[in-house]
Structure formats: structure tokens, C-alpha cells
Amino acid sequence: MIAAGQLIFSVAIFLFCFGALTFFTKRSAVVALMGIELMLNGVNLVLVQAGQIYKNAEGTSLVLFVTLVAAAEAALALSIFVILYRKYGTLTLENFRSLKG
Amino acid sequence: MSAELWSAIVAIALGVAVLTGVPLMVIVERRGSAWMQRRSGPNRVGPWGLMQPMADAIKFVFKEENVPAKAHKILFLLAPALAVIPPLISFTVIPLAGSINLEGVEFPVQVANMSVGLLFLLAINSMHVFSVLTAGWASNNKFSLMGALRASSQMISYEIAIGICIVALVITYGTLDLREIVKLQEAGSSLPAWGMFMQPLSFFILWVCAFAETNRLPFDLPEGESELVAGYHTEYSGMKFALFFMGEYAAMFVASAFLTTLFLGGYNVPFLSEETIRNFFIAKEMTLTMASAATCALQVVSFAVKVLFFMWFYVWIRWTLPRFRYDQLMHLGWKVLLPLGVLNIFITMIVSYLRSV
Amino acid sequence: MNQATDLIAGAPTVFMWVASFFAIFFALIVFVSSNPISCAVALMGTLFSTAALYFSLGNFFVGAIQILVYAGAIAVLFVFIVMLLDLKPQKLKNLPGRFPYFIFSGLVAGLLALFLFRTIDLVPKGTEDTSASLLSATQYAQYFLSQYQVPFQAAGLLVFGAILGAIVLARGHLGKKERS
């Protein structure tokens, strides 16, 4: 039978992979950002579980920092998306190809 | 009697109490507002109109519920549920009474005590915004959307002031555990050792924010009856509207319980500590179980009186003050309460440093 | 707190199973749905389920922080933006050529699983408890002010910079007349 730690690691891996897939395959920028948040959540889960396995508090401390950075980054990214939407009228990622080689 | 069984019993009792408190608040609001406006409220349905909420409930159940044509069906159904769930979750960490002694084991009268109870309350408080947003969006109605955006920005702004006041409170009490906070407010000699005497500015700010968080007058622009039809619950009828109603009153109960626990001594009877009351009952030759049960009953009554005081105040203020305009509301939240909160933190830091020296 | 090995190498509780199921279910909805508002609400569901997983591990502090920051602020911000910009469900099909991404994700998932599952065997058999990893808020505070002082201050600076950035971005689109 499956152990609790394996279950939680599996959930974390699922979250990470679904986040990565969302980020790479969605057309809308906002949904891609949601993928990033999912990835960060998967990482947080791994950190907390690893902290429990190694029996020290570093896991939780790192989780707090990751959460903080995720919050700041989501806020700023969404502000930038609002400005992009105002300027270009669309958030579909295919239209933003001017930097492509 | 295991701890889980006791928690389940307390949880069920609490759920029943809150969900019967809502009809009670309906009748108190209508009769109270009528009394303040020199008219008589509903007094035909049952003695003194006490069956009026029952009549309202029956009316809500039988009303036709129509879903607007291009509404997002799942979110439309989800929003009223999301309005009721966070307040009920918040009640799990609020201590209702001291411990009861069953078969030699002390059971705290609380559903689940967390060592970070205050943080948990703050966290669940931030979920109230979500039901408002979902309701406004799912109704596919411009007025609802406007009401929802206004309500959510109002709630988010006042949450910041709440967070700042909680920082000052944590400095004063030194713990995030709600049970510890209530125990620290026990007894007292000339004044009860309540939080409102230790942190008056915090009390005032949190009280104002409690009004803003529950969208009650004078901050009820999102539901402004004369302004936005009915704001974010325009399109809701029947039982869904009743759920929003219940959610609003349940949120008021949570806010009142929150203020009581932090500032009014929680379940403590003023000037008497739990030991004193228990010894009083033991001196009357009761068993320990009965004495602790009687103590808890007294403390629950004390808690209920304080919560009802705050609820009455909600009703009183609603029918006394006019409504804030949106920019005045934002000005109050960001430019008045936030600097006051930061000032409060400075004063608290200085005072607690001087006391520890 | 001596259910230590139960929380890591023992069988998962029913609560853990339910929370895990919902976390994966909502993450699937985020990936599959074409309506941005459904994605946002499902993201909220995932965040809540993850918080439930933290609570089931006994780590109430991180769970409360998760609900406070992620579910209560970030997810609300996402819903707000979707409503503000009125993002419509995307009508066109997704980009072709997505299949390599699935393969790659599968490989990454397999590798991660291989590494992570082995760490579970590192838990010594016996009754050591995990309370060393579940500190109280006071102890975390002391930790942050002593051992993690530098990251703590850096995070403070980061948030300050983010606030400044948000203000600049918000004022940037005002016309020259409105800037005061």
C-alpha cells in the first residue's frame, strides 16, 4: 500500500507537472501565470514534506519565502498584463512575437 | 468520550446555535429598527412577531428561483454556498467556554484549538471576498458586477487595517493562540483585565473594520438599496438569496465573536476567574463534572451576552448613521485607519518595551 | 506528537486522500478548461486543497499562511483581473504540437518520483517525532530573526520594491494632467 509521504510527493509532482503543462500550452497570459502558481505550490508541498522527513524547520521557512515571492510576482505580473491589455487589446500570447529571432 | 467525539458535539451545537441565531437576528433587526424609528415592526406573526423569521423562511423556500440567461451556471450556484461556509469555518477556533471535566479529563469547549488560531481567523476572513466576486460575475449583470467590484475592493482595503491591528495585538498578548489570549484576560482587580483597556486604539480600528468587512452600514455601498438596485445579489431570489442573508448574519456573528475574544475577555465572567467560579460550585457540594459544567454554562452565557451586545450595536449603527460614499470609504480605510494602525504599533512597541525593562 | 512515522511512512488518513484527490482534480480543471474564470476558481480550489494537505500534516502555520496569502490574496487577484479585463473563453483550439510537452512532463514526473520516494526510506524506524519540524510561530519568528535574518530582510526589500512597482505601474497610465 502507498505511504503517506509517497502520496504527498505524488500530489506535489502532479501539481508541478500540470502547472508546467498549463504554462507551456495555454494561449492566454493570465492562465499561463496560473500555471506558474501551481508549480510554486508543488514546490511548497515538497519543501514541507521534506522538512518533516529531515526533522528540521528549514522546509517551512523556505515555504514562507517562496509564498512571499509568489505573491509579489503575481501582483506585479498581473499589473503588467493590465497595461498590456490596455495597449494591445489582447492577451493572447501568440501576438507577442516581436522578440522572436 | 474521546476528543474527536467532543469536538463533533461542540461543532454540531455551534452550528445549530449559529443557524438559529440568524432568524433571531432577523427579528431583532426588524423590531429594533422599528423601535428606533418609532413604529412597530412585525408583530402579527406569532407573539411579538417572533414567528416572522419562520414565515420569511417559508416564503424563501417557495419563491421561484430564476437563473439569468447568460449566467455561468456553476458559479451562480456556488456563490451563495461560498457566502455561508467561511463564517461557519471561522467558528471552529473561537473558544466558547473554559474546560469541562468529564471522567477526569479536561475537554476545552471549542471545536479545535490551533496554536495559530488568530492567523487562521484572519485567513478565513479573506475568503469572504470570493463569494462576493463570484456572485457579481456570475449574474451577468452590470449592476451586480459594479457592486461586486466595489464590495471586494472595500473588503480588501479594510483587511489591511485588520492585519496591522493584529500585529499590535500579538505584541501585547505574545501569542497567536486564542485560548491563551482569553486566559490572559481573566479576572482583574479594579477593571476587568480585558483587551480593550490594554489596546483601545486597536479596539476602535478593528470595530470599524468589522463593519466594513461584513458590508454593513455605514459601509454598505455594495448593497446600497437606493444606488445599485441590490448590488451583487440582485439576480438572486429564493433560497439562494436566503443563503446570502444567512451568510451576512453569520459573518456578523463571527466578527462579534472575534471582537469579544480579543477585546472583551472572551468567555470570562468579569472579575471572576475560572478557578473562583469552580471552587464556588464545588463548595456547594457538586461533583467536579457538575461544577465544571456549571462553570462552562456561566461562561457561555457571558460570551453570548457580549456577542449579542455587539450584534445589537450592528443594528443600532445601521439605523443611525448615513452611508459612506465610495471615495470617502476608501479615504477612511487607507488614509485614516492604516496610519492609525501603524501609530498604534509604535505606541504598543514603546509601551511593551518600557514594561519589560 | 508521536505519530511521527505515521505521517510519513504510515498509511495516509482518509482526510489526506480526500485532500489529495481534490488538489489533483482542481489542477486538472485548470489545465483542461478553456474559460479563464473556471481556471481561476479551480486554482482557488487547488490552493485550498493544498492548505488542507498542510493541515493534515500537522503544519497549521503554513496552512494558515497558504490560505491567507495564496487563496485569500493571489487567487482573488486572479479572479479580479479576469473580471476586470473581461477575458472570454478561448474559442480557437489550443496550439498544435503539444504532444512533446506531455512526454517531457511525464519524464520529469518520473524522475522526480524516483528521487523523492527514496527519501522516505530515510525516516528512521522508531518513535522520533516530527515536532522538531513543527515549530510554533514564536519559534519561527526567532528562527527568522537569527538564522534566516538575511533572507528575511531581503524578502522585506522585495515586497517594498513590489509595492513601488505596483504604484508606478498604476500611475503610469494616468494622463499628465492627473498626476499630482
pLDDT, one tens digit per residue, over C31-48 is 988 889 889 999 999 999
Interface B–C counts its CB contacts (< 8 A) at: 70
Does chain C touch chain B (at least 3 C-beta pairs within 8 Å)? Answer: yes
Give C112-118 contacts, CB < 8 A, sequence gap 24+. C112/A9, C112/A13, C112/A16, C113/A9, C113/A10, C113/A13, C116/A9, C116/A12, C116/A13, C116/A46, C117/A5, C117/A6, C117/A9
Please tell me whether residue A92 adopts helix, strand or coil conformation: strand
User: What span, in angstroms and rounded, lies between the C-alpha atoms of B161 and C29?
Assistant: 35
DSSP string spanning A18-61? HHHHHHHH-SBHHHHHHHHHHHHHHHHHHHHHHHHHHTSTHHHH
Q: How many residues does chain C have?
A: 180
Rounded to an integer, the average pLDDT of C131-139 is: 71
Q: How far is B338 from chain C (nearest CA, A)?
A: 16
Candidates A10, A12, A79; nearest CB to C166 = A79
The cell numbers describing B189, all together, are 482587580
Distance from CA of C36 to the nearest CA of B (A): 12
As a whole number of angstroms, the distance between CA B303 and CA B305 comes to 5
Whether A and B touch (3+ CB pairs < 8 Å), yes or no? no
Q: What does the block give as the cell for A41?
A: 505550490
Is B63 in the C-facing interface, judged by CB distances under 8 Å? no
Which residues of chain C lie closer than 8 angstroms to A21, CB-CB?
A: 31, 101-102, 105
Q: What is the ipTM of this complex?
A: 0.91
For residue A45, give the nearest of C40, C53, C166 by CB distance.
C53
- Which residues, at least 6 apart from B2, have a Cβ–Cβ distance to it below 8 Å? none
C43 vs A contacts (CB less than 8 Å): 34, 37-38
Its sign, for the CA torsion B4, B5, B6, B9, is: positive
C-alpha cell, C171? 500611475
Is A56 within 8 Å of C132 when comparing Cβ atoms?
A: yes
Indicate the pTM of the whole model: 0.89
- Write out the DSSP string of B67-115: --TT--HHHHHHHHHHHHHHHHHHGGGS--EEEEEETTEEEEESS---T
Which cell goes with C145?
Answer: 530573526
Neighbour subunits, C (≥3 Cβ pairs < 8 A): A, B
pLDDT string in tens for chain B (357-residue length): 788 888 999 999 998 998 888 888 888 888 888 889 898 888 888 887 788 888 888 888 888 887 777 777 888 888 888 889 999 999 999 999 888 888 778 888 888 888 889 999 999 988 888 888 888 888 877 777 877 888 888 888 999 999 999 999 999 988 889 998 998 888 777 777 888 888 899 999 999 999 988 888 788 776 665 555 666 777 777 788 888 888 989 999 999 999 999 999 888 888 888 888 888 888 887 788 888 888 889 999 999 999 999 999 999 998 888 888 888 889 999 999 999 999 999 999 999 999 888
What is the residue whose three cell numbers read 486554482? C43
Are B63 and B242 in contact by the 8 Å Cβ rule? The answer is no
Percent of chain C with pLDDT over 70: 81
C-alpha B313/C-alpha B112 separation (Å) is 29
Cα B292 off chain centre by: 27
CA terminus-to-terminus distance, chain B: 47
The confidence score (pLDDT) of residue C176 equals 47
Q: How far apart are CA A52 and CA A37, in angstroms?
A: 23
Q: Which of B10, B89, B56, B54 is nearest to B250 (CA)?
A: B89
Task: List, in order, residues 6 or more apart from A100 with CB less than 8 Å away.
Answer: none
Identify the closest residue of chain A to C93 by CA–CA distance.
A27
Report how far residue B31's alpha carbon sits from residue B38's, in angstroms, rounded to the nearest whole number: 10
**Would you say A26 and A39 are in contact if contact means Cβ atoms under 8 Å apart?**
no
Could you tell me the pLDDT band of residue C180, with boundaries at 50, 70 and 90?
Answer: very low
All three cell numbers of A58 = 528549514
Which of C38, C60, C81 to substitute to test the interface with B, most B CBs within 10 Å?
C60
Residue pair B222/B62 in contact by the 8 Å Cβ criterion: no
Check CB contact under 8 Å for C159 and A86. no
| A94 CB-near residues (< 8 Å, 6+ apart) | A27, C95
Q: How far, in Å, CA of C60 to CA of C63, rounded?
A: 5
SS3 B140: coil
User: Could you report how far apart the first and last alpha carbons of chain C are, in Å?
Assistant: 58
Residues C114 and A28 sit within 8 Å (Cβ to Cβ): no
Query: How many angstroms separate the CA of residue A94 from the nearest CA in chain C?
Result: 9
pLDDT level of residue C125 (50, 70, 90 thresholds): low
3-state SS track over B161-181: HHHHHHHHHHHHHCCCCHHHH
Q: What grid cell was written down for C18?
A: 480526500
Which chains have 3+ CB pairs within 8 A of B? C
Q: Rounded CA gap, C68 and C82, in Å?
A: 20
Dihedrals φ, ψ of B100, to 5°?
A: -110, 140
**Which chain C residue lies closest to B144 (C-alpha atoms)?**
C83
